[in-house]
Amino acid sequence: MFEVDNLIKLALDEDIGIKDLTTASIISPGKEVTAKVIANEDAVLSGLDIFYKVFTFLNSEVKFKKFYGDGDHIKKGDVIANIICDAVDLLRGERVALNFMQRLSGIASLTHMYVEKVKGYNTKVVDTRKTTPGWRSLEKYAVKMGGGMNHRSGLFDGVLIKDNHIRVCGGISQAVKKARCNIPHIFKIEIEVKNLDELREAIDSGVEVIMLDNMDIKEMEKAVQIVNKRTIIEASGGINLDNIVDVAKTGVDIISVGALTHSARACDISMDIVQKSS
């Protein structure tokens, strides 16, 4: 929560600066108004509580009534929430609050599309570390709201040996051996492979998870047959809504998709002041 608070403060400082020049020049403090938060398209909601939290940084007396929660499916025209606040604070926080919710709802909505595509297959859709700097915890939260699952949070909570690690160490076997000697026994080791020869070496090294990096469908199918359930198999690289079903059909256990966070479009959600409060 401390991380999110700092992010909100940074965003407000970035947007407001020394003051909201427009609002300060035309509206005096003390005028309480009511606004509605409205969905302008179908979406999976995420970030509603952060939307509200933005305004609490500006006005401790803000009143907020939500009609939906994160993870809910909303329709175009739905009123997501009502907010009552001093007009000055409402206008100062509007853009920042919407930026958080639009971005996170976009990620949740895109994730839902991917998850729905592979419904019925024995595979999980997970995210990657391809996130907006500083936003990772929020964006990974949004992935979960969309029905996806999280990969490791960062470099600190999982061992994933990638191609550049392998080059530096001199090979797959060498890299895995060094990792085994230097990590706690409770950690699994995942290693990235680019072809079937590397796959066989990874199996022989005793890793628990193998990532098939940018393999085509036929090569993935062969890889699944070779592994024969001896390790968890993750497919990664170049996966999109057009090919994810074919990837799932190969029998991989996990499909990681960078697009969930790096290519999600912000959802169209607006906040409209509807009346002065009595």
Q: What CATH number should be reported for the domain holding residue 103?
A: 3.90.1170.20
Q: How many domains does the chain have?
A: 2
Q: Which of 162, 167, 188, 230 is catalytic?
A: 162
Residue 77 near residue 244 (C-beta atoms within 8 A): no
Please report the pLDDT score of residue 275 as a whole number: 77
Q: Which of 20, 192, 198, 234 is catalytic?
A: 192
Domain shared by 101 and 167, yes or no: no
Domain shared by 95 and 175, yes or no: no
Domain shared by 176 and 85, yes or no: no
Please report the pLDDT score of residue 44 as a whole number: 98
- Mutual orientation of helices 87-117 and 136-145 as an angle, nearest 10°? 60
222 a catalytic residue: no
The mean pLDDT of 61-90, rounded to a whole number, is 98
Extract the tokens encoding 129.
């570390």
Domain shared by 126 and 101, yes or no: no
The 10s digit of each residue's pLDDT in 152-192 is 999 999 999 999 999 999 999 999 999 999 999 999 999 99
Domain shared by 240 and 146, yes or no: yes
Domain shared by 141 and 250, yes or no: yes
* Alpha carbon distance 96, 94 (integer Å): 6
130 a catalytic residue: yes
Q: Which of 130, 144, 194, 222 is catalytic?
A: 130
* Alpha carbon distance 258, 239 (integer Å): 8
Domain shared by 78 and 172, yes or no: no
Range of the domain at 40: 2-109+265-276
Enter the pTM of the model: 0.96
CA neighbours within 13 Å on the CB side: how many for 86? 16
The 10s digit of each residue's pLDDT in 182-238 is 999 999 999 999 999 999 999 999 999 999 999 999 999 999 999 999 999 999 999
Tell how strand 32-39 and strand 79-86 pair up: antiparallel
Domain of residue 258, CATH code: 3.20.20.70
Domain shared by 200 and 245, yes or no: yes
Q: Which of 70, 139, 213, 234 is catalytic?
A: 213
276 a catalytic residue: no
Please report the pLDDT score of residue 56 as a whole number: 98
Domain shared by 93 and 30, yes or no: yes
